[in-house]
A = this chain, B = another copy of it.
Amino acid sequence: MAIKNAFYAQSGGVTAVINASAAGVLETARAHSDKIGKVFAGRNGIIGALTEDLIDTSAESAEAIRALRHTPSGAFGSCRYKLKSLEQNRREYERLIEVFKAHDIGYFFYNGGGDSADTCLKVSQLSDTLGYPIQAIHVPKTVDNDLPITDCCPGFGSVAKYIAVSTREASFDVASMAKTSTKVFVLEVMGRHAGWIAAAGGLASSKDCEIPIVILFPEITFEKEKFLAKIDSYVKQFGYCSVVVSEGVKGSDDKFLSDQGLRDAFGHAQLGGVAPVVANIIKDGLGLKYHWGVADYLQRAARHIASKTDVEQAYAMGKAAVEYAIAGHNSVMPTIERVSNTPYSWKVGMAELSKVANVEKMMPADFITEDGFGITEKCRQYLSPLIEGEDYPPYKNGLPDYVRLQNTGVSKKLGEFKL
């Protein structure tokens, strides 16, 4: 087998552990220098490939690559850019081939979620469609946990841990304050289509640490009266409660609850989150004092409290992608296969990319309690292992010592390309 260079890119929303997958790809490729030459990373994802804006990762020290494992976000830059179909935009695929040829690239590693899996699938078909021999392997990543086949998605476990920890902590806080002040704490979390992240808030309550938590899932239509009755009963029983609300919750009019048509004093439309809306509903309906928070990027960037399980799986996916490529595979994605729950064990599997692309894994209905406000024991058994273990980054002067790569550009060999 002739030595070929590889291309690696990060795609879509970044996570606390996508760089751990990058470390897995890069360290494994370096360990197989008899098979893989240089790994070129796309600056800002696939845009880097299209514009021939490549980063020479061989310029980075082993120490820097190792530090990616504990650094959140996308070290090479990410992008939201989905390739259209070959029929719709043949020009982009021909450009990719031009760039791959110019830099002797025979391996394509794409680190992303559902949309990216589709792009990766299209690249994997370039041998057939346009006659350019390339092996394309998808490296799974998404905080939304919605890729099919794989038991879970790297990036999700760390968000889940962050939300579970934060919900427990804020609940302890509101419990202390409830006598004379705040009785309800509302936390808004990500998840526009699926309630995986909101579900993780339910882990904050456990048998040895019971906490009244009301979860608002995007899968469940919001019913105001039912919601207020639930809050009221919890506050009467416990003195306080916490609400974890998914940004994607909709009302019976099928509109996002966050989309309240808010106007400022001048009548200008204002964008708000769903947390203040829910807080206002509680104030208006029950007259209870509340506080609300919006985790936003904090939740998916929180490498400081990443799940050890998640970090290990993210790394393993990057490593397996390279190993699969070396073994001759194309158009596949490494997966996480759950072997057992207690003790939790898992192994690396493999999925056909054609079965991954454009398929969204939703929360099973039996993961949500009958009243629609909580998680079932089955859901708990699924989620719990994913937040297990801590994997603290090193600190310097009180702050996490995250790495920034040099990101040395590769000399361009081709003309410009307009996106």
Contact = CB atoms under 8 A, between A and B. Distances in A.
Given A297-B174, A398-B384, A261 B270 contact: no
Interface in A137-178: 161, 164-166, 168-170, 172-178
A185 interface: yes
Given A271-B280, A273-B276, A204 B399 contact: yes
Contacts of A47: 179-180
Contacts of A181: 79-80
Interface stretch (A69-77, A124-132, A229-237, A359-367): A69-77
A297 B260 contact: no
Please classify how large the interface on chain A is, using the bins under 10, 10 to 19, 20 to 34, 35 or more: 35 or more
Nearest to A279: B271
A257 B222 CA distance: 31
Given A176-B10, A272-B272, A399-B204, A291 B302 contact: no
Contacts of A206: 397, 399
Q: Give the number of times this chain occurs in the complex, counting copies.
A: 2
State the majority secondary structure of interface residues on A.
mixed
A300 interface: yes
A2 interface: no
Interface in A270-323: 270-273, 275-277, 279-280, 283-284, 291-298, 300-305, 307
A206 to B, nearest CB: 7
Query: Closest 3 CB pairs between A and B?
Result: A293-B296, A387-B398, A74-B176
18 contacts: A13-B177, A16-B169, A44-B180, A45-B179, A72-B169, A73-B173, A75-B176, A77-B175, A77-B178, A166-B298, A206-B397, A206-B399, A209-B399, A271-B276, A273-B276, A273-B294, A305-B305, A307-B398
